[in-house]
Amino acid sequence: MDMNQFIQNIPKAELHLHIEGTLEPETLFRLAKRNGIRIKFNSVEELRQAYQFNNLQSFLDIYYEGAGVLQNESDFYELTWEYLLKAKEQNVRHVEIFFDPQTHTARGIAFETVIDGIYSALADGSRDLNISFCLIMCFLRHLPESEAMKTLVQALDFKEKIMGVGLDSSETGHPPSKFMGVFEKAREEGFRIVAHAGEEGPPEYIWEALQGLKAQRIDHGVRALEDTALINELKRRQIPLTVCPLSNIKLCVFKNMRDHSFKTLFDQGLCVTVNSDDPAYFGGYVVENYLALQDAFQLTRNDIAQLAINSFNAAFISQDKKEKFIDQIKKFMAE
């Protein structure tokens, strides 16, 4: 089995995936047509051409515009189902999916439309594709905390469908400390806590996510390397980092994959995981992200297996389930 097949076939979890970021140009055009929405691009090719970003904000502007084609429950269902088919192809056994309700409720789409569409596809995927799942609701950090609080209150009616809450969107100038109140309430309600931090923002934002929000996982966290005390803390507590290599290159966090902090973080014994973030926009799903790292850093099969093991250890699933998945990796390695 060549390395390509090995990465494809090894059982893995994906923990950092924005469902709105799986909207492929073809799907975007199909939904725009069906829903009578005008888009400023004439073709799939022209749209793909526009996927050239120089920072996080330049991506988010296009990403929020793209999400405008999602109108009905069936649109959210199809979006999620298409991602799950891709995940199945790549032997992803467990997914933890982010969704951004505010991106849709701000356009007059009901919270219920969004969650029902996504959740029913995930439930079908669990039954028909054998992919287990959790849903994580993210607050948009460029908006005020009061808006996040309203979103949390809306979400309480769907509490049994939502495992955790997170924080995404424009990082610079919007530190985690802005959201202490809403995350405190989310913890009281029993939600798991994650937050994007240290993607473009400084290591202080990672400290704030850990200490202020009590994040159990850090999304990205790739700038942690700039702070030795922080590295020691992340290592000591084995706080998982959900790293998204192709995203970081596309958004110019690092110039080349060889400059990425991944390898140093991994070699220092942090719980690093590999994920795709917004695969329709960044040129690859989870397998392509593993391959990009393998190519840049000459990862061994044991390295890949360790990353896959980390992905299950970092997941919001029971210890029993983690052990079952990790046993599958061990069996796969022994084949």
Task: Give the DSSP letter of residue 261.
Answer: T
> Under the phi-then-psi rule, with left for phi > 0, alpha for psi from -120 to 50, and beta for the rest, what region is 98?
beta
Any contact of residue 18 with ligand ADE (CB under 6 A)?
yes
Q: What DSSP string runs through 193-254? A: EEEEESSSS-HHHHHHHHHTS--SEEEE-GGGGG-HHHHHHHHHTT--EEE-HHHHHHTTSS
**Binder to ligand ADE among 114, 278, 289, 310 (CB under 6 A)?**
278
Any contact of residue 199 with ligand ADE (CB under 6 A)?
yes
Catalytic residue chosen out of the listed positions 24, 73, 96, 199: 199
Q: Which is nearer to ligand ADE, 280 or 308 (CB)?
A: 280
Q: Which is nearer to ligand ADE, 69 or 305 (CB)?
A: 69
Which residues partner with 164 through β-bridges? Answer: 136, 192
Tell me which residue of 169, 159, 166 sits closest to 189, measured CA to CA.
Answer: 159
What is the longest distance spanned by two Cα atoms in the chain? 53
- CA distance linking residue 177 with residue 212, whole number of Å: 6
The listed partner (ligand ADE, Zn ion, none) that binds 27, CB under 5 to 8 Å by sort, is none
* Contact code string over 245-284 relative to Zn ion, x by CB under 5 A: --------------------------------x-------
Question: Does the annotation mark 335 as catalytic?
Answer: no
- Closest-by-Cβ residue to Zn ion is 277
**Binder to ligand ADE among 90, 151, 242, 247 (CB under 6 A)?**
247
Q: In this structure, are residues 216 and 239 in contact, taking their beta carbons and an 8 Å threshold?
A: yes
**Binder to ligand ADE among 80, 169, 310, 313 (CB under 6 A)?**
169
State the residues that interact with ligand ADE by CB under 6 A.
18, 21, 56, 63, 168-169, 196, 199, 247, 277-278
